[in-house]
Amino acid sequence: MSNYNFKFQIKTKIKFGRNKIKELPEILKSKNKKRVMLVIDEGIKKVGILEKITLYLDDKLNIVSLTR
């Protein structure tokens, strides 16, 4: 029997548009989330998106970011 047999399901809500990053703290607070894991690539980091995200979440959450 393979260890790679599994079922994965996730509900994903995508918000797109100008200044949506500013909504992150309230969204996470409403879901009682205190930790966030961000998985990004080097391009996201280079254009400053990671910096913007951490600006809005800094001091509110425990942020773990992985750059690949």
> 39 has which bridge partners?
66
Q: Which burial class, exposed, middle or buried, applies to 44 when counting CB atoms under 10 A from its CB (0-12, 13-18, 19+)? A: middle
| Residue 68 pLDDT level (bands cut at 50, 70, 90) | low
The conformational region for residue 17 under phi > 0 = left, psi -120 to 50 = alpha, else beta, is left
Give CA–CA dist 68/42, Å, rounded. Answer: 6
Structure confidence by residue, pLDDT tens digits, 14-30: 888 888 888 888 888 89
Residues 6+ apart with CB under 8 A from 41: 67, 68
pTM above 0.75, yes or no: no
pLDDT tens-digit map of 1-58? 567 787 878 888 888 888 888 888 888 889 888 777 778 889 988 999 888 888 877 6
pLDDT greater at residue 59 or residue 42? 42
